[in-house]
Amino acid sequence: MKNSLTKKEKNFCRFYVTLQNSREAASNAGYGMLSRLAGEKLLMKKEVKDEIARLNKLNEDLSCAKQGFRRLAFGSVADAIRLIDGERDNLDSMDLFMVSDIKLVKGGGMEVKFYDRQKALESLASLEQMTSADGSLPIYRALENSARAIALESEAYQNEG
C-alpha cells in the first residue's frame, strides 16, 4: 500500500508525535495561520492517524532498545561476580542482564561471558543517529529546522520584491 501523505502531512505527524499538540504540530509543519483548524482536520484523517501510530510504535521500540543498550553499556556486573564467587542463594533476584553465556568447566569452575560494552555503546550511538534521521527529532532540532525554514522563506520573499 502506497503512503498517500504529502510531505507537509508527514512533517505534521512527526511534530505531533514529539509535541502531542495538533496546533503546534500544524504550525511547525507549515500550515500557517489556520494551524489549529488544520491540526484538528489532519487528526481526523485515517492516513495521518496510521502514520502517527506507526511513529509512536517506532519510538516505543527504539526507546526499549536504547534502554537495553544503556543497561549493557553502563550496567553493574556485581551480581555476576557474586555468582562466580559461588553465591547462588538469591539466583532469581540477581541481575544477569549483562551476561551472554555461562559455562560450567571441568574442576567445578564457572566461565561467564559478558556482552561487549563497546559494541553496546556503538549500537546506542547508532540508534540515536537513526532516531534523528527518521524524523523523531528532539524538540530543539525540530525548532531549529522550523526557524531555518522560516528564514529561507523570508529570504526568498525579500528577493522577489
Concatenated DSSP letters for 100-144?
A: EEEEE-TTS-EEEEE--HHHHHHHHHHHHHHHHHHT---HHHHHH
> What per-residue confidence (pLDDT) applies to 37?
92
Domain range summary for the chain, segments of one domain joined by +: 7-160
Instruction: Quick: pLDDT tens for 122-137.
Output: 888 887 776 654 454 4
**How confident is the model over 102-120, as a mean pLDDT?**
89
Chain mean pLDDT for the chain: 82
Task: Give 52's contacts (C-beta < 8 A, 6+ positions apart).
Answer: 13, 16, 17
Instruction: Quick: pLDDT tens for 68-91.
Output: 999 999 999 999 888 888 888 888
> What per-residue confidence (pLDDT) applies to 158?
62
Q: Which three cell numbers stand for residue 92?
A: 532469581
Strands 110-114 and 99-104 turn out to be antiparallel
For residue 45, pLDDT over 50 is answered with yes
CA 34 – CA 29 distance, rounded (Å): 12
CB 33 within 8 A of CB 72: no
